[in-house]
Amino acid sequence: MRIVYVSSVPVFPTNGGNRAVIFAQIEYFRNLGHEVYFILLTSRQIGSFDEDAHREFFGPNFIPLKRSRAGETLYLFQRWIKIIFRKIKNLSGQQTHLFDSADEIYYSPFDKMLKAIFRRIKPDVCWVPYVFFSRVFLTCGPQTLKVLDTHDSFSHQLAPEKESAGLKRADIVIAIQDLEAAYFKSLLGPEAGRVRTLCLMRERSVAVEQRRSAGATFFGSSFTANIASVQYLIEKVLPEVVRIVPGFKIFVAGSLCRDIPHQKSVVKLGLVKNVEDAYTDAPVLANAITAGTGLKIKLIEALSLGVPAVSTRLGVRGLPDQLLQGVIVVDDDDPIGFARALLTLHQNTEARLALGRSARRAAQQWVASQKAELEAILALTKRDEADRHSI
């Protein structure tokens, strides 16, 4: 089949959870023999972007869509008008959401470009990450299976009826975990059959070495929830650990490093080329999540590498029980309990090794189940459009 990804998020460098999920899906589609196109919707907020890596991986099937200067000026003007009106409403005491519609950050001149590309490619499947880009589905034909990969619920940014309107443009709505799937089903009502739960991660052929440990690792990109979480880990949990083991260190990997100060007992690794590099010296994930929604991709990635984890309950929210075999779960806002769990894995090599083996087995079983779900979604291309929603 011809599968077209239309994404505002690049694949390379694969340094974020959303990128890791997209890459895992694309890699599996290609392994199944499908032809994959990647259309990148460029913007000022694109983040780190390696164009050469995209062209090397996708070849001529990589299609970046550029914004014109005039189009971008008009887009920004319209955005500022909406923002100003919302601020006025807030000042007058009216409750508003962050966005007026699912299309507010979509650059509408992309429509014409996409229609031309779809007429040429004639895709069997159009796969779009995030509800804010669901308008893409209006540009492809009725014979194309339209899959919206939500990655997260945006109930805190969109009114329910606005988010629902975006979801209804898709034939299939993918939730990253069961709690969000239930929410999407409530929004869709009679059309709840569109919702599927899926979070495919890459299979890892080699596990991280577990025999030596200098501490634990926190992995994350720079955004508010991760900043709050790593502050909790460093300010509340770490002092309890170093009181007993002074040499224990927290290794922080990812763009989050720029948001934390230099201090003793914290090692800032910065961006790592490969996820496994983050766990070289500290093969335990300190998943001290205190804020945020969605599914913690870094947790599944760690488990797939045979890295055991200590997590708050919020950090495993929405995960199936089968994935928790490699995780010690501690109550939220219990820094002493979290510190004790980290010390157990740090000081007891056999316990760390055993939990790591359990983590890897659980992750392998998870990947197998997610591959089966992904293939079931693709099989819907063989059904008539009316049948897709009744599954």
**Residues of the chain above pLDDT 70, percent:** 96
Q: According to CATH, what is the number of the domain 2-198?
A: 3.40.50.11930
Neighbours of 274 (CB within 10 A): 9
**Which burial class, exposed, middle or buried, applies to 74 when counting CB atoms under 10 A from its CB (0-12, 13-18, 19+)?**
middle
Q: Which of 196-210, 229-243, 262-276, 309-323 has the highest mean pLDDT?
A: 229-243
Residue 391 to residues 34, 155, 178, 195, 379, Cα–Cα distance (Å)? 23, 25, 17, 9, 11
**Residue-level pLDDT at 202:** 82
Q: Which of 197-201, 336-340, 372-376 has the highest mean pLDDT?
A: 336-340
pLDDT surpassing 50 at residue 391 = no
Cβ-Cβ contacts under 8 Å for 374 (sequence gap 6 or more):
25, 28, 198, 200
What confidence tens digit (pLDDT) does each residue in 36-64 have? 999 999 988 888 899 999 999 999 999 99
Higher-pLDDT residue of 326 and 17 is 326
Q: What pTM value is reported for the model?
A: 0.85
What confidence tens digit (pLDDT) does each residue in 62-108 have? 999 999 999 999 999 998 998 888 888 777 777 677 888 999 999 99
**Residue-level pLDDT at 53:** 96
**Residue-level pLDDT at 295:** 57
**Residues of the chain above pLDDT 90, percent:** 63
Cis ω on the peptide bond leading into residue 13 (within 30° of 0)?
Answer: yes
pLDDT surpassing 70 at residue 389 = no
Domain residue limits, the chain: 2-198, 215-368
Architecture of domain 215-368: 3-Layer(aba) Sandwich (3.40)
